[in-house]
Amino acid sequence: MEAESAAKSARTGGGRSVLITGCSSGIGAAAAAALRERGWRVFASCRAEEDCARLLEDGFESPRLDYKDEASVAEGFSEVLEATGGRLDALFNNGAYAIPGAVEDLPTDALRDIFEANLFGWHTLTRLALPVMRAQGSGRIVQCSSVLGMAALKFRGSYIATKFALEGLTDTLRLEVAGSGVEVILIEPGPIGTAFHLNAHRQMQRWISAPGSPHRADYQRVTARLTRADGETNRFELPPEAVVAKLIRALESPRPAPRYFVTTPTYVLAYARRALSTRALDRLLARISD
């Protein structure tokens, strides 16, 4: 029995620690559950106190961590280190949101707001984790990017801007930490079945004024897509567990890949970006956007 337990531990988390952000639902919640099952010590962080309280009731360690609140990032990270005795084996940066809308209709304050949540907060947390991982000579930093980190679609400019920036920052970081024992990895999902589209609709209502826009007719289609009924899915959409499967490979493989694609659209657009001219790619992306 002990030998069997040791073998399972070697194949899975083996008691290693991971901090995951955005665990209130979707990819983060699925990742927390799956990694705990595999033997990882999971710190499942959330932005809202009530979500942390719910996860605590479910037996998770759940520090509050809001990417837009630098103090909460520092406090949440300190709570993790205090619990582990100063060690952290992996960080999965995951929480993000979108503000659907045409670039010309996007207030600059909206762009500042989304960059705080989708990039700057990630950067703050990553910079806290790196010295810990460097000192212990090992660690994994996994960034949940998107197919929209490699290709542009209409009415998604703010989210795309944050993901393009994340891709560039992450690729640079991977070069800079090479040889330190720290692995830096991107996961690039396409459409995943979560509440992401409903949250995006709320952000659109907050920031975008459609009536006076030259794109007002397009916004009717965007709204219909974002408010689709529960159970009505994109034909290429996969469940959050599809991302988690790649996350497990990123965390547990002896030699993780720099990138992991999830969903057919990600593979197709990655190929199209290499194979097509800019004009041809624009025509393809315009059709997909519509």
Catalytic machinery residues: 159
Q: If you search the block for the tokens 């990032």, which residue do you land on?
A: 73
Instruction: Determine contact, residues 130/177, Cβ cutoff 8 Å.
Output: yes
Rounded Cα distance, 42 and 174, in Å: 24
Q: Interior CA angle at 205 toward 204 and 211, to 5°? A: 100
Instruction: Name 119's Cβ contacts closer than 8 Å, sequence gap at least 6.
Output: 162, 165, 166, 169
Instruction: Determine contact, residues 134/180, Cβ cutoff 8 Å.
Output: yes
Rounded Cα distance, 280 and 287, in Å: 11
Give me the residues paired with residue 142 across strands. Answer: 92, 185
Rounded Cα distance, 180 and 131, in Å: 11
Q: What's the distance, CA 278 to chain centroid?
A: 27
